[in-house]
Amino acid sequence: MKEIDPTHSTSLNVRRSTFLGTTAAAAAGTATLGPAFAQTPLGKLHPPLVPEDDPSISVEHARLESAAGAIPAYAARPRNATATTPAMVVTMHIWGVDTSIRDFIRRLAKAGFAAIAPDLYGRLGAPTGDGATDFSVFRPFAAKLDRTQVASDLRSGAQWLKTRQASARVAITGFCMGGAIALRQTIDNPTIFAAAGAWYGNPAGIDPAAVTMPVLGSYGGRDTSIPPDSVRAFQKALNVPNDIVIYDDAGHAFFDDQRSSYVADAAEDSWRRAQAFFTKYLTA
């Protein structure tokens, strides 16, 4: 799979919004995060939006077993989780399970989902992505990811969740590289996941006719790496329920609030949509 450089895949004209520019509808989707969210400067390294010691969630550093060797994973769930709490496997972006992915896992937990992010680089000795700005460091590790093994690791993540939420439906989502991988699970793991979502995950190579689960997609209209027309063509050919939006003012990696690609209004509206979408298809 061709990897996208998240630092050089956005039109130079993209607007870098701040949270103060978020629409009222999008802001409604962040209500569970409280005032700390609105007061945190985003688009650069910042304190977590949902800290690990948030009393409403529990965090766990998990270990996923596989014939190829175990990998670590980062997980969180609501303190009051039950057997039917909806569950999510999150596929990491090129930077790995970094601060933004871990914070996203906790945001999902605070929003009422059990969630886990398998470290797909866990057998490869990759460096941490925390605060990283050099995409090229991670390219060799991304290139070593094997499709069959990745599908197995993501199944292991879903199975780990099911040991705690035995009656839950499980969805998969991801960002950039992980978004493309998440879409691919509609083909590789169609009986494991009940729905799939992608933030700027390239749909190239995914046969829409083979997709049998609901699909969520959030893309940037100024993303030079994923042509909007290809996204529209993918959506048009889908035969399943879907919610796919292209944000005209956003480029690639617009959801990553730890980096300068962040675009607040697109990020917050896509977060609101994601919560509604996965609640609908995991609790129906």
Give catalytic residues, as residue numbers: 176, 223, 252
Backbone dihedral region for residue 147 (phi beyond 0: left; psi -120 to 50: alpha; all else: beta): alpha
Rg value, the chain, Cα: 17
CA-nearest of 181, 162, 189, 149 to 67 is 149
Give Cβ neighbours of residue 99 (< 8 Å, ≥ 6 apart).
Answer: 45, 48, 129, 130, 131, 258
Phi, psi of 139, rounded to the nearest 5 degrees: -55, -45
C-alpha–C-alpha distance, residues 43 and 266, integer Å: 13
